[in-house]
Every structure is written in structure tokens, then in C-alpha cells.
Amino acid sequence: LLFVAAQVTLVSGFTGFSPASLTTSRSNVLQQSVISAEDTDTKTTLKISNDEEKNNLAAKLLTTCAAYGQVGSKLTEEERSIIDDIAASLGSSSSPSPAKIELSGKHELIYSVSPSASSGALGPLTGKVTQSFLDETMFINRVEFFAGAIKIELYAERKVLDDTRIRVKFKETVISVLGKEVKRFEAKGSGIWDYVFAGSITKPSGEKMLLRVMKTPSTFVIVQRE
């Protein structure tokens, strides 16, 4: 017994722990592990909840745009306000640096209030509008009529200004008919993309896409389907 007691005393002297304190330490570690697990579960639950809210709002925005139509300038003030309110509510769920999200491939215009051809409106016609990103700076705004028989392409370059804004400068316009270029001329002007929201969303169908909502100051809603 004296030998055992001497060993305990020796261990206690080197480690600073007694058998009782070791038991207490194990208990504290266990409690901390439980608390850490609970914190992780809480964060996971909050993330799922936030994602669900984001996806629900995004689905509502896309459904409303589809119901009202692509060209916002043809809507009533009340209808445009409804879309703007839904878009604004998405802002808190946006990527923290929406202007710095990498853009590539083809993106599809869902809605625009712009009265110009960038919304797809040309007199009584409404064309299909897409954006094609060529590299880190150059992209093409494209409007197609009659299943692509007539195509208007506006070449432009972009520069990130900060986390939420991108400056766009127009370079040239190319008009093609039946696949043949008929006119090319210099394009002038510039603008700012001021992001309201940008991020990945999942529709109720399970389809995933990148959604972007911007003010130029006209509202634009654009998606890239996976």
C-alpha cells in the first residue's frame, strides 16, 4: 500500500493531477465534447434553415418572373414592385462577395426592367437573351429572334470594382442573319452591375443553378443552369 501511495504521489508531483482531479478532468472534457457537438448541430440546423429560406425565396422570384414575363417595362408599377420586393428579400442570403463570383459559360436572362434591347424587347418582339462569358473580362450580351435566325451580339468587358459592383464597358455590336454577319459597328457606353444577390440555389424540382440579381439601375434576374 505504501508503494502504491508513493507511486500516486510521484505521478501527482510530475503531472499536477490527483486521481480525483483526473476524474474531474475527464468529466469536463466529456461535457465540452457534448457542448461542441450541440453547437455543431445548431450551426448545421441554422444552415439548413437558411438554405431552405433562400431556395424558397429564389423559387418564388423565378416563378413570379415567369408569370409576369421577361420584359419588366411592359408590366405595371405594382407588378414590378412585387418582383423587386422578393429580390430585395434575397439580399441577406447572398454570397458576401457577389461581384467576385467566377463567371463562365452561358447565362440566361429571366427578367429585366431595362427598356432597351438588353431585355430582349424590340418593338412587338421579345427575343431570347443570354450572356456568354469568354474569359475573366470579356463577355457577350446576345439577343436572338426567330430561334436564332436574327442575332444581335453586344461585346463588352467588365472590371470588378469591389465586393458588390462591376463596371461594364461596351465595345462593339455584331448583327447576324441566318448565321451570316451583316453588320459590325463600335458600341459606346458603360454601366455598373450593382448586385442585390448572387449564389447557388436549388429549385423544388432539384435543379441547381447560379442565380444573380442586379441593379443597373434597372433590375436584372439571370440564371446559369447546371
Closest CA to 161 of 128, 189, 195: 195
pLDDT score recorded for residue 117: 84
Alpha-carbon distance 58 to 204, whole Å?
A: 10
pTM above 0.85, yes or no: no
Closest CA to 147 of 175, 172, 177, 119: 177
Cell of 5: 501511495
Local confidence band at 3 (pLDDT 50, 70, 90 cut-offs): very low
Percent of the chain with pLDDT over 70: 78
Q: What is the mean pLDDT of the chain?
A: 85
Stronger pLDDT, 35 or 216, i.e. the higher one: 216
Radius of gyration of the CA atoms of the chain, in A: 28
- Cis before 115 (ω within 30): no
80 pLDDT more than 70: yes
215 pLDDT more than 80: yes
Contact 101, 95 (CB under 8 A): yes
pLDDT score recorded for residue 47: 57
Q: What is the pLDDT of residues 10-44, one digit of tens each?
A: 333 433 434 455 455 555 544 555 445 455 455 55
Q: What is the mean pLDDT of residues 192-198?
A: 97
Contact 55, 203 (CB under 8 A): yes
Alpha-carbon distance 49 to 55, whole Å?
A: 10
214: left (phi over 0), alpha (psi -120 to 50) or beta: beta
Q: What is the pLDDT of residues 154-164, one digit of tens each?
A: 999 999 999 99
